[in-house]
Structure 1
Amino acid sequence: MFIGVVLGILIFNRISRRAFLISNFLISGILIAILALIPSLNSMVKLGIFALFAIILSSGLVLDYPYPTELFDIKVRGTGVGTCITISRIGAAAGTFLLPVLTNAGGASLAMIVCAIVLLVAFLVCLIWAPETSPQFIKKAENN
């Protein structure tokens, strides 16, 4: 996870916030889906895919505070960021509760498939609705 956060910090201002967010969900969803849908992979390949999944997913943590802050006008910024944080905590609590339930019901593959579905739905939602907030990329779009 440390490697992922460092990687996220390094690429944070080099690519657009929107592209970073969207690609993070897409790549993470694909990687965890591969692990869930192809259980016969070599254990070293599985380890490599899971390590890459953890690095990519944790690189997105860099967006947790700056992106919501940039989304909201100054008058409602505190409320907007607080709402985003609250929703993320509800999601984390639901995931913590559901992981053992899903694992008990259908094994690790079911839990990973549900995780992949959530990540891919998040990818689609962000693809459709996530705005660009990076100052340098907004200027480029306005100039074109």
Structure 2
Amino acid sequence: MRLPNLMDSAGKIVQQSIDEARRRYSQGPRTGVPGVQEDPNFSTEEPTILSDMRGYDFGPYMNQVVNRVRVNWYTLIPEIARLGRKGRVVIIFTITKNGTIDDIRLVANSGTEPLDRAAMGSITASNPFARLPAGFDGDRLVLQFTFLYNIR
């Protein structure tokens, strides 16, 4: 009598999981960025521009910033959040004229360090951003991002 090889079964299960993940991600992103699937339980409130905009329309620039941060955040969301841990993280940071982050501050933590680290990491991983728009005569842009985990 021959017993089934458990390693073969485990390998098939892993391969099925990989295939399922590929299938889900190939259905198309909802973040506006290819290859990144947005999860409805993880969202950011509309970022707030805290600095003087000097009459400049930052809409297109902010879309790029938000998409970049979200892409990085979705890759960093910890397992504890995927298991349902709730949290809200607020971060303020400054983008300089050349697109680098000059200052980043956690102003409201979630009470769960992995959630705070993922939010902070999504911004630091996005550094540098694109240069500030040429039509903007300021030298920096101060933004506030709010990250929501399992909160609607």
Q: If each structure's strand is expressed as a fraction of its own residues, which one has the higher value? A: 2
Q: Identify which of structures 1 and 2 has the higher relative contact order when contacts are C-alpha pairs closer than 8 Å and 6+ apart.
A: 1
Q: If each structure's helix is expressed as a fraction of its own residues, which one has the higher value? A: 1
TM range (shorter): under 0.3
- TM-score normalised by structure 1 residue count: 0.25
- TM-score normalised by structure 2 residue count: 0.24
